[in-house]
Amino acid sequence: MQIIVDIGNTDAVFGFYNATSWQHIWRTPARHDESAESYERRLRLWLLEAGLPLSSVETTVLSSVVPALTPTMRAMLTELFGFAPVVVGPDIYPHLPIEVLRPHEIGSDLVANALAAYTRYQRTCVVVDFGTALTFTTVSGTGKLLGVAIAPGLKTAIRSLFANTAQLPEVPIEVPASALGTSTTHAIQAGVVLGYEGLVRSLVSRIQSELNGDCIAVATGGLSGQITSLNDVFSDIVPSLTLNGIRLIGEAVLSRGGSIRS
């Protein structure tokens, strides 16, 4: 069993992988002030609920875009399982079957998306990740990471609107029936959700045009399946794509003889 950990700006995602498929995927808020012991208790509980003894976990891989949480998670995994995790970072990227531009600037989640897409599709692909940030990561069919576009995520936009205005409420992310809002909630959903639909369509189309149309689009992230009006844009929707990429990075390290044992 492998445990794959993806620390994002909003959530920490823990995936349990048994060599052929994901058995369990758990999500919890990524809190900077939470201790390693607190995360350890939570992970122990998940393992117990899944009926998995600690001894069944053979490898752990950690990806984090929150530097303040990385030592906490590394310490927790090392203490719990008795060996250190593979930690995804720039030193690993040269050993991957993809070419990463500016490795010290790009987030490990974007590298994971690129590797997972390259491995899965073997053709030029733009991965649209609906997370705290809305990211567009394009990788070629030969494994070169061609570029990235980043915008605020849907929840980020709605929370920003709520936090910076006196009378506008925080609303659920739902696709409204019309762009003509007849209530405050409907109006925000029309502006933000339908606005983001236009953003995604436009940017995917622009990327495909710059690549002469030879590019498929794939969606991932926690909200990837929620805006169903975008389904025609995507050739595939894979919520676990980032976790798959992190897992593949760990396997690439270990296949080169890397050790995660203390």
Residue 10 sits at the vertex; the CA angle it makes with 120 and 121, to the nearest 5 degrees, is: 5
Q: Is 33 a catalytic residue?
A: no
Q: Determine the CATH number of domain 98-243.
A: 3.30.420.40
Q: Which of 33, 91, 109, 236 is catalytic?
A: 109
User: In the chain, where are the structural domains located?
Assistant: 2-87, 98-243
Amino acid symbol at 6: D
**Binding site listing:** 6-13, 107-110, 129, 132, 184
Structure tokens given for 87: 């930690």
**Binding site listing for K(+):** 129
Task: Say yes or no: do domains 2-87 and 98-243 share a fold.
Answer: yes
Quick: pLDDT tens for 179-227.
Answer: 999 998 888 888 888 999 999 999 999 999 999 988 999 999 977 777 7
- CA-CA distance, 224 to 202, in Å (whole number)? 17
Residues 6+ apart with CB under 8 A from 117: 125, 127, 137, 139, 218, 241, 245
What mean pLDDT is reported for the chain? 91
Low-confidence ranges of the chain (pLDDT < 50): 259-262
**Binding site listing for substrate:** 107-110, 184
Spatial contact of 31 and 48, defined as CB atoms under 8 Å apart: no
Give the helix/strand (H/E) hosting 136.
strand 133-139
Q: Determine the CATH number of domain 2-87.
A: 3.30.420.40
